[in-house]
Structure 1
Amino acid sequence: MKSTKPISIRAVKREARSLYHGHFKTAIKINIVPIIFTILNVITTLMMMYTMIMSFRDLSQMASSASVTSDNDSAFQQVLNIVESVLSDAIKLIFIWTVNWALIEWYEKPKKLPTFKDAFQIFNRGNFLHTLLLTIVQSMLIFLWTLLFVVPGIVKLFSYSQTYFAYKVDIENGTRQGQLTDYIKVSRRVMAGRKWELFLLELSFIGWHLLGILTGGIAYIYVVPYLNATRVAYSRHLFTLAMSESGAA
């Protein structure tokens, strides 16, 4: 399923803007949860940065002696933090996936506007438990790769980025892969030789992200729907090319 034909960044962005043209209220409505998550993340990050800057004045007071008990508590707390981080990432993925699935359907039928309920289809179409397990597996794998250093984690983030689309294809066809990791394998195959291309696509939004940070997250009301629609447009091109080239072979 590996595809070699380049996908135009301008083209997928243009498709995203075309999809939303005259319907941006609908775009905001179906993207509302990712928008809220992103704004809260920006606010939290800015507050943490402020706290860190202020804490530099009191570094001399932060040193304290550690006992064996505190070491054990610290180790246990680290395990809890890892579990919390993986589950948190998995939950965020669930909401991103369900929005992207609504966008996939919108692209397929552009004249039929998605409803607010469509943005939560994971919860009302019997896919929640299976999707939760899949997002946990993906989040755990990315976390483990990140432990090897940041770069391998980022590479795998792009490599696994199409898992949601592979799973959506099966949902629409009423089929299932043998194992959860098979969807991740599909993503890895279609992204072979494509990770740099997707990185450039994400990098093209750097100005929008800076605007989002400078506005305290407010600009993400526009940026998140635009970014999600662009990612879905890219995935549609990617799988279309991969399947066509696979069939030709």
Structure 2
Amino acid sequence: MISQCKQAARHALQGKWLFMAGAVIVLTFITAIPELISPATYNDEESLTGLQQTMDFATIILSALLLPLSVGWLWLTLSLTRTSRISMKTLFKPFTVMFWKSIWVSILTGLFIFLWSLLLIVPGIIKTISYSFTMYILHDRPELSAMQAITESRKMINGYKTQAFLLFLSFLGWFLLGIITLGLGFLFIYPYYSVSYAQFYEEVKRKEYGGDIEYMA
């Protein structure tokens, strides 16, 4: 299944590599805004001024408000697996169709993964994989609540977690190349991995449900 997903991703990306690289730049720039406007690092011994505390709080809030953008990236990669007609608007679609839900589900999954990671790193990895279909499921079944989508993700990927992990491992060489190129390689590696994982979701959905899940256009 892994080689099939990667091959399907390369096929889907034909003629779309530059578009997806541009989407990565937009995603990276916007999500970096809170860090760019955050106060300069200060010593622990230095007391925080009221302005610095306000800026820290504002940075946290802004970071949370931008969480739908990461959901939009997953929706964009999912859209690319299904149709050659993609738009940058998809990157921002969660802001208009499920703004608060996408924030809430992102916070919930992050919290659950953090709590499981406190036990040991392995449970944290397992739960990261278990929740990895959540945003795709919300795209296909927007009527579900955050907890319902998380639960459905756990059920759907059950029996496929090893393959999901092996898919990630198959990209380690590419990730190393991205580091060697000072991050520039990730403009193309990140779309390749993301579309491969979206295709993995499609394959699991097909095997488990025969692909019979309605999804938004």
TM range (shorter): 0.7 to 0.9
Q: Over aligned residues, Cα RMSD in angstroms?
A: 3.2
Instruction: Determine what percentage of the aligned residue pairs are the same residue.
Output: 29
The equivalent of 2:39 in structure 1 is: none
Question: In 1, Cα distance between the equivalents of 2:119 and 2:30?
Answer: 27
The structure with more radius of gyration: 1
Deviations 1:144-167 (A, max 9, x none): 111111111111000111101111
Correspondent of 1:29 among 14, 17, 22: 22
Residues 99 and 217 of structure 1, relative CA distance in 2, 3 Å threshold? same
- Count of residues in Structure 1 that have an aligned counterpart in Structure 2: 192
Correspondent of 1:234 among 176, 196, 200: 200
Deviations 1:118-163 (A, max 9, x none): 221112x331111101111111111111111111111100011110
Question: In 2, Cα distance between the equivalents of 1:10 and 1:109?
Answer: 20
In the alignment, is the contact (CA less than 8 A) between 2:178 and 2:186 conserved in 1?
A: yes
Deviations 1:36-84 (A, max 9, x none): 5899xxxxxxxxxxxxxxxxxxxxxxxxxxxxxxxxxxxxxxxx9xxx6
Match of 1:136, as an amino acid?
Answer: I
Match of 1:22, as an amino acid?
Answer: G
Q: Which runs of 4+ in 1 moved over 6 A?
A: none
Match of 1:11, as an amino acid?
Answer: Q
Match of 2:81, as an amino acid?
Answer: Y
Deviation, 1:211, is 0.9
Q: TM-score, normalised by structure 1?
A: 0.68
1:152 paired to 2:148:
no
Q: TM-score, normalised by structure 2?
A: 0.77
1:103 paired to 2:69:
no
The equivalent of 2:113 in structure 1 is: 142
Deviation, 1:234, is 0.6
Ranked by relative contact order (alpha carbons within 8 Å, sequence separation 6 or more), the top structure is: 1
Deviation, 1:92, is 7.5
Q: Which runs of 5+ in 2 are unaligned?
A: 33-55
The equivalent of 2:167 in structure 1 is: 201
Residues 151 and 37 of structure 1, relative CA distance in 2, 3 Å threshold? farther
Helix, strand or coil: the match of 2:210?
helix
